[in-house]
Chains A and B, each alone.
Chain A
Amino acid sequence: MTAGTASAGRSLRVAATERRAAFGAFLLTAPGLVFLGLLFAMPLIQLFALSVEGGTTEWYAKVFADGLYTTIFIRTFEIALFVTVTALLIGYPVAFFLATTTPTWRAIGFALVMLPFWTSVLVRTYAWMIILGRNGIVNRFLIDYGFIERPMTLLNTRFAVVLGMVHVMLPFMILPLYSAIVRVDPDLARAARGMGASRFQIFRRIYLPLTLHGIVAGVTLVFVVSLGFYITPALLGGGKVTMIAMVIEQQVREFLAWNFAGALSVVLLAITLVVFWLLNHWVARRVPPATGQGR
């Protein structure tokens, strides 16, 4: 047998092995694919089909026709943005603490972060209603101690909505931030400090660039989920703070306007995807792949 046929035979064998491995991997993903296909992709396509039912674009025209829905879209984005920024500002220090403290404090900290995570959003939202209500804990305290005379309107405001949403979304921000920060070698901070860097400079020059991918992950997650929030704004906004998910639900439940609801959903999805794409694009340019990963 010549060397040529021997090597050809070997490469055939390698190819067969690789094909088997690829097929095995495909089999493993199959349940997930079927699940997503049936419960996510199909309804999505149906929704899109509804929005253009009869070959008309009138439902889309209606979305942009009068300022009402545009206003709600803008408000939704404002609230989501506000929630995201607040969650980032609160979450980064917490994640930093969790990543750099002793194991005991880390365990305690994680328990505190995850505890609300395991409690129903509905329950937590009702808890905020009790805290923020006209006769709630905050108002009672301020009145009893003479800080104010008449109860403040805390509930049914944009403030209440943002507060409740930040509370719900914080773990989603903290977890990706934590996993990014914990991968930064603490010797880098030590080295920077030894070279004369202040604490702020260590954050600005070392931690911030090295955890940028975690920040983007957390921001994306929180922002995208916040766009579709329903329960929290509905309960804490008391009908005064309308977000787009509430409008869609109303169209379906009260007006049975499936086509219009479909159009609203598709617009929301499109905008979300664009935001998502922009963020990723920006990060890809700022952070070369594999930078910021631990050794």
Chain B
Amino acid sequence: MDKGADLTVAGIHKRYGQVRALSDVSLTVSAGEFLTILGPSGSGKTTLLKVVAGFETPDEGDVRVGGRDVTDLDPAQRNMGMVFQNYALFPHLTVERNVAFPLEMRGTPKAEIRTRVAEALAMVELTGFEQRLPRQLSGGQQQRVALARAIVFRPTLLLLDEPFGALDRKLREAMQLEVRRLQQRLGLTTLFITHDQEEALVMSDRIAVMDSGRLEQVGRPRDIYDAPASPLVADFVGESNILSGTMEAGGSVRLADGTAIRVTGEGPAAAPGAKVRILLRPERLGDAGDQPGAENQIAGTVVEAIYLGLSDKYRVRTAGGVELLARIGASRTARQYRAGEPITVGFHAADARIIEVR
């Protein structure tokens, strides 16, 4: 099948009355790439998708697909496949007629419609369900129909608006991988909207983190997670300890409670005396005894212990009153702590990274 086209949005502004929904959003998605817009609700991610799809007109900026300016084109002329949050299946049409709809709108010959609908349904493993009505299908099956309908006309771009929100966890994970495989097989340029950071990490070639109508950071999942550009990104993607302190000579940071910790993880340079914020992922914090060579050790008390199966999550308060989140992986030797017990946590200087200098 044809490779998808590349998508460029440049300098998009969109305002609703006093609310700035999008502020100077620029982004390029290369052909065949899976890019996720990740952000909390109200961050403007759905507005951006609507601008790309043509359901909203931007106040400023333009949208180009394959080098062609489509900003002023009607959605009907943009040739983009879209899966809606609630699937938007036509309730009065059978699965077959739903999937045939975009082809019928294009005046595709009947015989060709039949083969292509069968092809698309086979791709989402729904062969045999042609004559069912949407309400006779499970959520996951409805999702597949929506997907088949979005790809059957070989769109230049696939847009997915939080399509897995209504599915239970197991099904959601299965669908994530399935959609990803299908997208890669068809080489479809895909713009995916979600507020679920885990989903974004699993599926994407790149992630664009959005907040308050602005792009905070665009990068590969690993970069977003390991090297967040701001405390906001760090906080939104994964769990994090964000500690405030003052830079000291020799690569140490003195926290508000007086503890000094060594910080050598990559990050912006800070002169001694500068106020900094440090990111420390909870899974990099461990029982000091299990962390040989850890430069930093902090004693404290377990405030709360949560059993999560794969790991234990501890809320630890240090002697100086700083709260730390530690995730200690389940292993045969790992010690279990209970609330109130003393604990010493340790971490490597390289796992602490400055993410903001003020």
Residues of chain A at the chain B interface (Cβ within 8 Å): 185, 187-188, 190-198, 201, 205-206, 209-210, 287-288, 290-293, 295
Contacts and interface: CB of A to CB of B under 8 A. Distances in A.
B135 A206 contact: no
Nearest to B146: A191
B74 A193 contact: yes
A121 to B, nearest CB: 37
B92 interface: yes
A291 B94 CA distance: 11
B84 A291 contact: no
B105 A185 contact: no
B55 interface: yes
Interface of B is mostly: loop
B88 interface: yes
Contacts of B102: 195-196
Contact of B133 (A193, A196, A291): A291
A98 B86 CA distance: 24
Contacts of B88: 185, 187-188, 190-191
Given A192-B101, A196-B102, A196-B106, A295 B86 contact: yes
Given A190-B88, A192-B90, 9 more contacts: A187-B86, A191-B82, A193-B55, A193-B74, A194-B55, A194-B80, A195-B101, A197-B101, A205-B101
Contacts of A191: 82, 84, 88, 90
Interface of B: 53-55, 74-82, 84-86, 88, 90-92, 101-102, 105-106, 133, 135, 149, 153
Contact of B91 (A193, A201, A210): A210
A290 B135 contact: yes
Contact of B153 (A195, A205, A206, A287): A195
B74 A187 contact: no
A291 B97 CA distance: 15
Nearest to A201: B105
B89 to A, nearest CB: 8
A190 to B, nearest CB: 6
- Complex A-B, nearest 9 residue pairs according to Cβ-Cβ distance, in ascending order: A195-B102, A196-B105, A191-B88, A187-B88, A194-B75, A193-B75, A196-B76, A209-B92, A197-B105
Contacts of B78: 194
A134 B135 CA distance: 59
A187 B88 CA distance: 6
B86 A185 contact: yes
A210 B79 CA distance: 25
A284 to B, nearest CB: 15
25 contacts: A187-B86, A187-B88, A191-B84, A191-B90, A192-B101, A193-B55, A193-B76, A194-B53, A194-B75, A194-B78, A194-B81, A195-B76, A195-B105, A195-B153, A196-B79, A196-B105, A201-B105, A206-B90, A210-B91, A287-B92, A288-B133, A290-B135, A291-B92, A293-B91, A295-B91
